[in-house]
Copies of this chain bind each other. A is one copy, B any other.
Amino acid sequence: MRELTVDLGERSYPIYIGQGLLDQAASYFQKHNIGNKSPLLIIADSNVAPRYLAKLEQVLQAGGYKTASAVVPAGESSKSLAMLGDLVGKALDAGLDRKSAIVALGGGVVGDLAGFVAASYMRGIKFVQVPTTILAHDSSVGGKVAVNHPQAKNIIGAFHQPEFVLYDLNTLQTLPPRDVSSGLSEVVKHGLIWDASFVDWCEANAEKLLALDPDSLGYALYKGCSVKAAVVSEDEKEMGLRAILNLGHTIGHAIEAVAGYNEMQHGEAISIGMIGSAKLGLRYGAPEEVYTKTKRVLAKCGLPVSLPKHYDVDAIMAAMMHDKKFKEGTMVFVVPTAIGKVEIKSDVSVEWMKEIVEELKLEAEQI
């Protein structure tokens, strides 16, 4: 079992990573002073609930907790205000009060949604995360919770830190392969922005990770969470440093915006975005290796490293110009200057970016 602390002063919390932690859930709840007089509400999605919900409920009930549960449809579209309303109704029906906790059992979608329920129900109650995807290592650090608006992703939300995060590696065994790769994309990102030797490790262990080897997974998630925790601790409210976590995300979000429904996973789009950022790095004078190694490690993790041919460059550029990372007209990008090191450049020209998106597409055509 690995443990790390997200250091946020009064709001600090631990992340536990290991095999079989679900079976010990009740003792973790007790350890973190979650009382058993007020009911808990567990929120899961329609893929995760049939696999792990009964187990979690049973373990918590055996530990003396009253539990209620709510199952939302799998997929990003559950991150909506309408679903927030439904879940608040469920919380009221179940009698949740100010001492209750909301438990997110699932990936980033359920984490973000359940987290916003916890942040806003009675103006904020306790929140526990039980992540079941690799990508959720990212959302389990930093307390960013949100739902989407038809016009913009994650635009309605809060900062709400969990009491603790319980990461049972066993639950990852049932993850579909595409979700495994997509999650690894953010793991690699945490290496690329902070820790060159971890990038080496990812490259050397990519096969084991894709095969869901628990020990490799445990280490990768531990390192990924640690990097994000280090960044977030220095910048809880996203004022400065935290921006480096957006490596690959400006291009990636634009690709997601243009992609058809379910065509591109978040981690896949981010992977292409990180390749684009590496190309930008070269233009700022980074050594060639920044690009080649970035590409190699992401490819080994089963991720796309070029833009599929049917994407329209102008549409992607238009989407990019709408991205919230464009502060007051200035174009800001996170740019790798070495493996494990990035800088924030605020003078990136639209022309360069367009050339880079074109290159990303050209490379797909060459394959």
Instruction: Give the interface of A toward B (CB within 8 A).
Output: 37-38, 81-82, 84-85, 88-89, 92-93, 97-99, 119-124, 144, 146, 149-152, 155-159, 238, 324, 327-328
Contact = CB atoms under 8 A, between A and B. Distances in A.
24 contacts: A38-B328, A81-B81, A81-B82, A81-B84, A84-B156, A88-B149, A88-B151, A88-B155, A89-B150, A97-B324, A97-B328, A98-B324, A99-B328, A120-B120, A120-B156, A120-B157, A122-B157, A122-B324, A123-B144, A123-B157, A123-B158, A123-B238, A124-B159, A158-B158
A344 to B, nearest CB: 16
Contact of A155 (B121, B144, B150, B152): B121
A22 to B, nearest CB: 28
| Residue of A84, A85, A119 with most partner-chain B CB within 10 A | A85
Contacts of A146: 123
Nearest to A84: B81
A158 B159 CA distance: 11
A146 B152 CA distance: 22
Nearest to A89: B151
A155 B99 CA distance: 14
A150 B146 CA distance: 21
Contact of A158 (B37, B84, B124, B155): B124
A156 B328 contact: no
Contacts of A152: 92
A95 to B, nearest CB: 10
Contacts of A328: 37-38, 97, 99
A8 to B, nearest CB: 15
B92 A149 contact: yes
Given A81-B85, A88-B149, 15 more contacts: A81-B81, A81-B82, A81-B84, A85-B156, A88-B155, A89-B149, A92-B149, A99-B328, A121-B155, A121-B156, A122-B155, A122-B157, A123-B158, A123-B238, A124-B158
Given A81-B84, A97-B324, A328-B97, A92 B123 contact: no
Nearest to A99: B328
Contacts of A121: 155-156
Contacts of A37: 328
A324 B120 CA distance: 15
Given A85-B81, A123-B146, A149-B85, A155 B38 contact: no
A97 B144 CA distance: 17
A27 to B, nearest CB: 23
Nearest to A157: B123
Contacts of A150: 89
A203 to B, nearest CB: 35
A328 B84 CA distance: 25
Contacts of A88: 149, 151, 155-156
A17 to B, nearest CB: 26
Contacts of A157: 120, 122-123
A155 B324 contact: no
